[in-house]
Amino acid sequence: MSHNSSLVWRLWWLRPWNSNPLMRVSDRWEALLRLLVVALMLLAVPVAAAVGTATYSSSAERISVENAAKTEVPATVLTEPKQTVAAGPAQAAHFEAQIQWKRDGDLRKGTIEVRRDTKVGSTVQTWLGPDGLPGDPPQPPGSAVTNGIGTGVALLVGVGCALLALLWCVTKVLERLHAVRWETELRGLGRPIGT
């Protein structure tokens, strides 16, 4: 008999509806809880997929609306780049400079992040938000996919961890109850010394 068939046979004997009189009631409840955990995990997969899909759809729509409201304009650098974040072991230094651009016939000024070697008077492309102020560049559409997958996987992992924690706690409580019962039965078997 192979190892796999022996494992299947042992699992079959652990079923809660087993007629074996040696199987304790607590063992039946534990086996039933294990089956319930497996069923809930299987049920969590389509739920997590639905939540991930809904997150993807809303993220894709939000990104599309935000990107449509952004416009790219040429701007002139007015000041030398100033370091705003020092370089560290895990990050690069960041530099900002004041810029000027024309929008709807008006000259406007603002501050954006630039490269360290940017010269005063040079032209840089900057993205303006719906308010007409410099903002972040458009997000790639692929970030909606990342949001959807991340949400679905996080939900699935969270449900799995919660169910495994519940199963672990119940198993530990049952082990403790079994130990107490064994100790009580063993004390009842022994006779006091000298009798």
Integer Rg of the chain from CA: 33
pLDDT of 170 over the 70 cut = yes
pLDDT (average), residues 21-27:
73
CB 103 within 8 A of CB 95: no
Boundaries of every domain in the chain: 50-67+141-189, 71-137
Q: pLDDT tens for residues 45-66?
A: 999 999 999 999 999 999 999 8
pLDDT of 192 over the 50 cut = yes
CATH number of 71-137: 2.40.50
Q: Compute the distance between CA of residue 176 and CA of residue 4 in angstroms, rounded to an integer.
A: 31
Which residue did the predictor score with more confidence, 125 or 26?
Answer: 125
**pTM score of the predicted model:** 0.65
Range of lowest pLDDT (11-15, 65-69, 72-76, 169-173): 11-15
pLDDT of 88 over the 80 cut = no
pLDDT of 193 over the 70 cut = no
pLDDT at 116: 84
Q: pLDDT tens for residues 96-132?
A: 899 998 887 788 888 888 888 889 889 998 888 888 8
